[in-house]
Structure 1
């Protein structure tokens, strides 16, 4: 965890975050999910303000538009806002661009009590993890899908559950196509190998699923891809959510990430597991094709899987 404290006012006093409060904010941001566990942001605190800045990274063959770092940034921003609320302050958020990199300034404006939902999600920060393996075949508890959609709700962001055999087959075909493209892309496979790391930053070897959606979410050259019909069946058995935004700007990617994290933390607070897929949507033909097949008028940014874990909790943050 890296937090920089500006000490213009001595770093203490009623108008500044204390060292202990700064540590709380830093830990919350550290817990956010990020592409390949890279945490592509920097956090600075000064006065009653916390500032997130996207760190420049190496261009990615599989993500030329840089959506994944900004989605990750949005998740970190959501955690930061929850942490500020947990310290008893209302948070005012302003986002912008510094060159090609996104920034967010979050200021504690006045004393305020967090809602029950905010407290519940904040307590789930350290427990959230990525479940990239099979889920238990039991249905989600009644009403859970509506609760998760409510948690996701944000200006410019919408969520849509995949429903019925026709939609499941449409998603299966899109994911199968993307998986085959990436499996045969030597540059992408080289990047993925470089990011695979059993310790520290990177993708852990046990993050690569072998069955159903887990097999097509993060595809290696050795992945055995499931048959389309079997994949469609698995999609129907799981709770799969497509998250969309009204436009496709860097700020929209941040909004999608923040909304994603709220839904993920809500699921975690209810003892559910989840994982996110963005890799397939980096192919423009998959993004546009999926939108057409599902009749979406908004831009697909990511897919989320929710369920009850079927095996020990081994996953990547």
Structure 2
């Protein structure tokens, strides 16, 4: 019988010691809300079980949306790691005591696809990039590949295009930024998670301009003019990722889909950052779906581009 701890635990099954290290390392490098890794990993037989762990983000993540999206990114990394070992990976999502459980089972050997190889190799390179992008458009064929990766992950996506859509999205994001900026309880909790207060967030890692700035609104955020924000959204490749429904397992699928697209982008020399905080407000989610004619429940906004400086 294997045991699990916060983060990753190695079981006593058929996974070798070397394989266990590969799987644990891949999961460890998945992006998560406030870098808190709200999951545990247990390895046993030829299965890997990733279980959602409760967190104490009362103001920031009251319904656990970000926590489950984070678990989804870890599932994506886990599956790619198993596939990178030359094994099959069948994932079953379930819930136990109100918490999500993802079980990836390997029943045999199978070589990974070229896309899986690319994305798996990008796991350790992926990073959040909240700075302005270089002045270079993301080619249409690359956008198509990123959308395909989202679909591979079990979700759907839609690019924000044109001045009208950019302005509509900017208005919703500015509204959300004002709500969180003026919420003292939210701001106190956010401050407690910064490095200055012994937490895991760095103030200087947060965005200061455009979509990156209003994605996680702090007391220091300078709320942008709607027209200025709309102009910056129009200049970037911004993807809305959604799911057919909006239940806990759908939020996990959204996280898996975004991570697949993020790794695909990394493998092609792009950088990205995600925004979920505005979508905690139901009126923002509904406004996005209605304004964009998006026949899905919006879960995440992702901005893609090329880095402005040499990496």
Which of 260, 263, 267 in structure 2 is aligned with 1:262? Answer: 260
Aligned pairs for 1:1-317 within 5 A = 2-7=7-12, 11=13, 16-154=14-152, 157-197=155-195, 202-311=200-309
The normalised TM-score by structure 1 is: 0.93
Q: Deviations over 1:98-144 (max 9, x none)?
A: 11210011111111000000000000000000001111121113411
CA distance in 2, matches of 1:146, 1:57: 36
CA distance in 2, matches of 1:248, 1:200: 34
CA distance in 1, matches of 2:199, 2:157: 30
Q: Is the CA contact (8 Å cut-off) linking 1:148 and 1:263 kept in structure 2?
A: yes
Distance 1:130 1:198, change over 3 A: farther
Aligned length: 306
The gaps in structure 2 that reach 5 residues or longer are 1-5
CA distance in 2, matches of 1:310, 1:239: 15
Secondary structure at 1:5's aligned position in 2?
coil
CA distance in 2, matches of 1:24, 1:282: 34
Secondary structure at 2:15's aligned position in 1?
coil
Per-residue deviation, 1:156: 5.2
CA distance in 2, matches of 1:239, 1:49: 37
Q: Is the CA contact (8 Å cut-off) linking 1:156 and 1:246 kept in structure 2?
A: no
Distance 1:2 1:66, change over 3 A: closer
The gaps in structure 1 that reach 5 residues or longer are none
CA RMSD of aligned residues (A): 1.6
Per-residue deviation, 1:20: 0.8
Q: Is the CA contact (8 Å cut-off) linking 1:82 and 1:122 kept in structure 2?
A: yes
CA distance in 2, matches of 1:6, 1:120: 28
Secondary structure at 2:104's aligned position in 1?
strand
